[in-house]
Structure 1
Amino acid sequence: MACPYPPITDYALIGDGRTAALVSRTGSLDWLCLPRFDADPVFSRILDADLGGSWTIVPEDIVRIHRAYRPHTNVLDTTFTTATGQLRLTDFFPALHEHQKPAFPLAQTLLLRRLRCLSGRVAITVTIRLRPRYGRQTPELRSFAGHWYQYGWGHSQAILFASRPLERRGALLHGTFVLEAGQSADFALAYADEAPVELPVPQLFDTFERLTVDYWTEWVLRCSYTGPYRQAVERSALVLKLLTYAPSGAIVAAPTTSLPEWPGGPRNWDYRYCWLRDAAFTVRSLLGLGYHEEADAFVDWILHATRLTQPELHVLYTVYGEPDIPERLLVDLDGYRSSRPVRVGNAAARQFQLDVYGEVIDALARYRLFGRPLDREVYRFLRGLAEVIVRRWREPDDGIWEVRSGRVHHVHSKVMALVGLRHLERLAILDGVRLPLERYRRAAEEIERWLVTYGVDPVRNAFVATPGGAPDAALLWVALQDVFLSPEHPWVIGTVEAIQRELAHQELVFRYHRNDGLAGPEGAFVICSFWLVEALARLGRLDQAHEHFARLLTRASDLGLYAEEIDPRTGEHLGNFPQAFSHIGLISAALALEEASAPSTSLRLAAD
């Protein structure tokens, strides 16, 4: 019996800057939240093959399947070769420039699925099972005007257009038809929170497809990276754009919840939120690729999201900057490959992670060094973060990996606290801002003494996760910053080599090998693997860095997408998918390789 859950790399991502859908290799749309990333899904088959809804488009007698994004776009083409012909399925959300939108009637959310028979004749079966609230609610369904069907649940409604007739079977729509060479069929799902929903206009579908291809092609042309890894960098940038919530500029960690870090295990988290930890790498990646508007929007979101909690920071926020994200379990769902529990919300929002303060300061320092101004209000915010570091750096914390085994003194957290204070001193001198620098210097010196005394294992000649502990891949950060130790320092070299020796499996790197309060294994972390590439580049080991990077590129899905983790033995991707942090790591590593090959580049960028 075939497994009802395909590998997660069988999925492609499409979206509209508010939500995103996952489409399988076989044409099944198995995940879509409405109206935004962290809302309840209307299709959630990836979490329960029986209860969750899906939208399948299945040709008969499939012989071969080929899929690809249109060049330089997020428009997905899946080509089915069958025993009797060839069929192309095109999936996308229309993407229009703001000045174009007033000219077209466009629903709050519009998803288009277009079929065209390329040769011969193909029989197709379409089944639409829309099931809101993780499959636990059956919507009302009625048809009108021949080709339109209306779903209703709560205060929400959706309109489905089908150019081929579908039969109603309760709340399920089903149809079988044949397309011959040159013939086509169109389907569209339009959604709005409140009635009325703008009806899809089939006469505009060709225009929407053309404008969407133009939109993405023009956006990609803004990418300033011209190095040898352009194709991978471009796809990662397109993924980040899809994971950006356009109204606020926030970037969600992933569009999914509870895809397991190991099949059948409990490490199943909701990643449809925005982590401040991602800030430094995100800002660097966006600015390094020339996407200044997106970087500006993301920094604005950071300042907006933290307005109610500053100077204290939460670890994560919603796309609108809400800090309260309670975690609950959906015990009635099977979970992907029976991986329970299925979680909604994330309790890590309430953890204390000292490193976040340094990472946000680091993000704004990088932003300033790329020539973006920081005003008085931003400096007031930064001063507040520094005061928290000065006041709380001696406390144990929950750490970068959000373990649920209790607070301890994490060496990485102290490193990032030190990095934050050092950056703020540089910024104050650069912009002539009056800050209590002596207070920050004293705290920085105390943190450095703590790190030297407790954070280094003299046998390994390397930093370790906790005093007396083992290596942690997060400590690659000691090689990725430039305000603590230089890449030539023996402890930096020793740390990188210890991580390679004890946590790496060829080019893949595990986070740690220690008890973290949860049962079961996990895969190697993709972001840590890209951090190793960057660390090797900073150590001047360019041949090894390029070799590792090239191998990591072969680990991507056929569409160039990465999950959070990879099993080194099988190559299976694990965790929520696709993962923004993984793609940010790819971009940052590519930029680091480019800078290491031409050191003047980084100096020029900092001066521009």
Structure 2
Amino acid sequence: MNTDPPKIQDYAVIGDGRSAALVSRHGSIDWLCWPRFDSSSVFAALLDQKVGGHWSIHPAGDAQITRRYLHDTNVLETEFSTASGKIVLTDFMPVTSEEKKKEQLWPEHELIRQVRVAQGEAHLMIDFSPRLDYGRIVPQIKNAGKLGWRIDIGTCVFTIRSDVEFVQDGHGLSGTATLKAGEVASFSLSYSAEAPAVIPPLGDLVAHKLQLSIDWWRNWADQAKYEGPHRDEVIRSALALKLLSYAPSGAIIAAPTTSLPETVGGDRNWDYRFAWLRDAAFTVRALFGLGYKDDAEAFVNWLLHATRLTRPQLRVLYDVFGESPPDERVLGHLHGYAGSQPVRVGNEARDQLQLDTYGEVVEAATHFVGTEQRLDREMQQMLRQCGDYVCAHWSEPDNGMWEYRDARRHYTHSRLMCWVTLDRLLQLHRRGQLSGIAADKFEKAWREIRQEIEERAWNEHLQSYTQELDGEALDSNALLLALHGFEDAASARMQETHRRIRARLGPAPGLLYRDERSAEKNEGAFALCGFWEADFLARGGGSLDEARGVFKAALAFANDLGLFAEEIDPITADALGNFPQGFTHLGVINAALSLRDREKREGKLEGPS
């Protein structure tokens, strides 16, 4: 087997709406946090192969490896072809309705791995080496006889059961087995916060849980009301977002990982296992656009709950229950992915000022309520508070959407989203959906912000909108001026802005750096920005063929399973940053929706491809 550390794009993700695991193409689970996305890790070889812990299952000897998700599911199949045979490794976290879980006494959390020999004979090798609390705890694994093996940590219980006999090997378990065509071996790792735990049997119940999980995912995927270009890729992005959704609250986290680097060997390594308000408008538009109204409603309800205690001030990010994330700290004992240090947990951006979040929240609410729905008292109160706050603070410098940890600046995008806040609130007010606002005050600030953007964010010499007021540097988020309706995509200013961005920030078709600072530092191209460009072109910034071309070029940078990280190395096409990245997959969906709408307008709607 290849002993080189996997590339970020060599991972797949499985989950159950509460936590997620990353599985390498070689059959190793190198990242798992239980019981929540932001809990400490059970396996963290992703961040340190020596001390992080892993759980590998693979055949002995060299193998040709292919993998896929079962169609319209998050059930992963990895196929190993060796000289002696072919095996299929199926990895999933069981999901089904809450009613069926109660009927069958499912564990609180479970990860199932099943090996089936499809052809010939296979000699399996299993290495189970958990290292709790980000590798700091080497747990004692006790033999519980017919109940498998267990780890007791306080009141918490981990149980592993297997059709293969395990032996203790140092501080872990190992096992080998020779299986012939048609034979199956199953493994179950479960977690309970309090003993006694539900001990899941294997045998037929594994096949039953697999079928229930396949049915659940496919039923969810079938709810999508999308008939347009690249349907498979769009649904895969929706399924990725569903994996990042915390089912008990409706929150959607940015990514299930921490500290995967934006530059290998660099220090821009952040914890993304939280929910950013910045993503709100994109999230609601994507969910509504695909027909997932229940998911959109759950997200908006979480949004109202999360912001209740801090309004009128909004935090940049929240945990899945709407609380403040923990203090950011460095895990100095971990080597980091490919030596990229530091490894961080928690995120200091929670304390930044990002004025764009107000526009994102108000835009999300506007998408949610549409043009006719009446707003309840709490929603109206939140919207009024956002408007009042923006009127009082819109002219201040902030940290901006890219969260640079230096001096605050007057970012164009932050001004834009302050304008969006007031623009949408005034629209709601005129339609009679929102009452009690100081309309004259809102309109005055709305005009002042528009004038400032038009006069100070436009650089006459560059013939482009710039990243900051009175600035010289470019930022791909200037394309969002069209998406949010501040400028028409076909306007002379937006056309010139797009040309400058493509010339100065575009290393390859389908790729854009987020800004000139990241281009100069040799960071990866920001994957989302390529989809922003496709969206911009689809909205009238270019021809339909141009929009299709950029969208297709951007899609080509997904991994073999259709998953995107945060960034793409423009030279090697390697994935960079936390993985999979929700913001990128939102970009896929929203660009596809804009492309579909453009095709409908021109009577050139393409079928799924």
Identify the TM-score tier after normalising by the shorter chain: over 0.9
- Counterpart in 1 of 2:91? 91
Amino acid at match of 1:563: A
Q: How does 1:222-261 map to 2 (within 5 A)?
A: 222-261=223-262
The range that moved more, 321-330 or 254-263, is: 321-330
Amino acid at match of 1:28: S
Amino acid at match of 1:585: G
* Partner secondary structure for residue 138 of structure 2: coil
Amino acid at match of 1:294: D
Q: How does 1:387-536 map to 2 (within 5 A)?
A: 387-434=388-435, 435-466=437-468, 467-482=470-485, 484-505=486-507, 506-514=509-517, 520-536=521-537
Amino acid at match of 1:587: I
- Counterpart in 2 of 1:604? none
* Shift, 1:330, TM fit: 0.6
* Partner secondary structure for residue 141 of structure 2: strand
Would the alpha carbon gap of residues 246 and 513 (structure 1) be closer, same or farther in structure 2, given more than 3 Å must change?
same
1:147–1:165 Cα contact (<8 Å) kept: no
* Shift, 1:461, TM fit: 2.2
Q: TM-score, normalised by structure 1?
A: 0.96
1:80–1:86 Cα contact (<8 Å) kept: yes
Amino acid at match of 2:233: A
Amino acid at match of 1:543: D
The range that moved more, 96-105 or 79-88, is: 96-105
- Counterpart in 2 of 1:322? 323
Q: How does 1:73-152 map to 2 (within 5 A)?
A: 73-146=73-146, 148-152=148-152
Give the distance between the partners of 1:3 and 1:79, measured in 2 at CA: 18
* Shift, 1:492, TM fit: 2.0
Give the distance between the partners of 2:374 and 2:74, measured in 1 at CA: 32
Give the distance between the partners of 1:248 and 1:206, measured in 2 at CA: 29
* Partner secondary structure for residue 240 of structure 1: helix
1:140–1:153 Cα contact (<8 Å) kept: no
* Shift, 1:379, TM fit: 1.1
Amino acid at match of 2:281: A
* Shift, 1:143, TM fit: 0.9
1:287–1:370 Cα contact (<8 Å) kept: no
> Residues 56-84 of structure 1, C-alpha deviation per residue, up to 9 Å, x if partnerless?
11201233111111111111111111111
> Residues 190-237 of structure 1, C-alpha deviation per residue, up to 9 Å, x if partnerless?
101121221012141111011111111111110111112100001001
> Residues 299-346 of structure 1, C-alpha deviation per residue, up to 9 Å, x if partnerless?
001101101101100000000001243110011110000000000000
Give the distance between the partners of 2:228 and 2:241, measured in 1 at CA: 19
Give the distance between the partners of 2:155 and 2:53, measured in 1 at CA: 19
* Shift, 1:372, TM fit: 5.5
* Shift, 1:551, TM fit: 1.2
Would the alpha carbon gap of residues 489 and 68 (structure 1) be closer, same or farther in structure 2, given more than 3 Å must change?
same
Give the distance between the partners of 1:511 and 1:168, measured in 2 at CA: 49
1:325–1:349 Cα contact (<8 Å) kept: no
Would the alpha carbon gap of residues 201 and 8 (structure 1) be closer, same or farther in structure 2, given more than 3 Å must change?
same
Give the distance between the partners of 1:462 and 1:494, measured in 2 at CA: 6
* Shift, 1:485, TM fit: 2.3
Would the alpha carbon gap of residues 267 and 372 (structure 1) be closer, same or farther in structure 2, given more than 3 Å must change?
farther
Give the distance between the partners of 1:373 and 1:571, measured in 2 at CA: 47
Give the distance between the partners of 1:106 and 1:371, measured in 2 at CA: 43
Q: How does 1:247-396 map to 2 (within 5 A)?
A: 247-369=248-370, 373-396=374-397
- Counterpart in 2 of 1:605? none
1:562–1:579 Cα contact (<8 Å) kept: yes
The range that moved more, 374-383 or 361-370, is: 361-370
1:4–1:49 Cα contact (<8 Å) kept: no
Q: 1:575 aligns with which of 574, 577, 585?
A: 577
Q: TM-score, normalised by structure 2?
A: 0.96
Q: 1:563 aligns with which of 559, 562, 565?
A: 565
Give the distance between the partners of 1:515 and 1:420, measured in 2 at CA: 28
- Counterpart in 2 of 1:606? none
RMSD: 1.7
Give the distance between the partners of 2:296 and 2:518, measured in 1 at CA: 37
Would the alpha carbon gap of residues 69 and 515 (structure 1) be closer, same or farther in structure 2, given more than 3 Å must change?
closer
Give the distance between the partners of 1:270 and 1:282, measured in 2 at CA: 20
Give the distance between the partners of 1:260 and 1:154, measured in 2 at CA: 33
> Residues 439-494 of structure 1, C-alpha deviation per residue, up to 9 Å, x if partnerless?
00001111112112211100222210112221101111101112x22223222222
- Counterpart in 2 of 1:38? 38
Amino acid at match of 1:60: A
Amino acid at match of 1:376: R
* Shift, 1:370, TM fit: 7.2
* Shift, 1:3, TM fit: 6.0
* Partner secondary structure for residue 30 of structure 1: strand
Amino acid at match of 2:569: D
Amino acid at match of 1:473: S
- Counterpart in 1 of 2:606? none
The range that moved more, 335-344 or 75-84, is: 75-84
2:52–2:135 Cα contact (<8 Å) kept: yes
Off by >3 Å, runs of 4+ in structure 1: 1-4, 370-373
2:419–2:449 Cα contact (<8 Å) kept: yes
Give the distance between the partners of 1:515 and 1:81, measured in 2 at CA: 41
Give the distance between the partners of 1:65 and 1:287, measured in 2 at CA: 37
> Residues 225-277 of structure 1, C-alpha deviation per residue, up to 9 Å, x if partnerless?
11121000010010000110000000010000000001000010000000000
* Partner secondary structure for residue 178 of structure 1: strand
2:30–2:43 Cα contact (<8 Å) kept: yes
Would the alpha carbon gap of residues 226 and 364 (structure 1) be closer, same or farther in structure 2, given more than 3 Å must change?
same
* Shift, 1:119, TM fit: 1.5
> Residues 373-425 of structure 1, C-alpha deviation per residue, up to 9 Å, x if partnerless?
53121011011011111101111100010001210110110011001100110
* Shift, 1:599, TM fit: 3.8
* Partner secondary structure for residue 431 of structure 2: helix
Would the alpha carbon gap of residues 569 and 372 (structure 1) be closer, same or farther in structure 2, given more than 3 Å must change?
farther
Amino acid at match of 1:23: V
Unpaired stretches in structure 1, ≥5 consecutive residues: 602-608
- Counterpart in 1 of 2:607? none
Give the distance between the partners of 1:432 and 1:42, measured in 2 at CA: 48
Amino acid at match of 1:109: H
Would the alpha carbon gap of residues 371 and 52 (structure 1) be closer, same or farther in structure 2, given more than 3 Å must change?
farther
> Residues 125-165 of structure 1, C-alpha deviation per residue, up to 9 Å, x if partnerless?
10100111111101121112246000122332200001110
Give the distance between the partners of 1:210 and 1:418, measured in 2 at CA: 49
Amino acid at match of 1:159: T
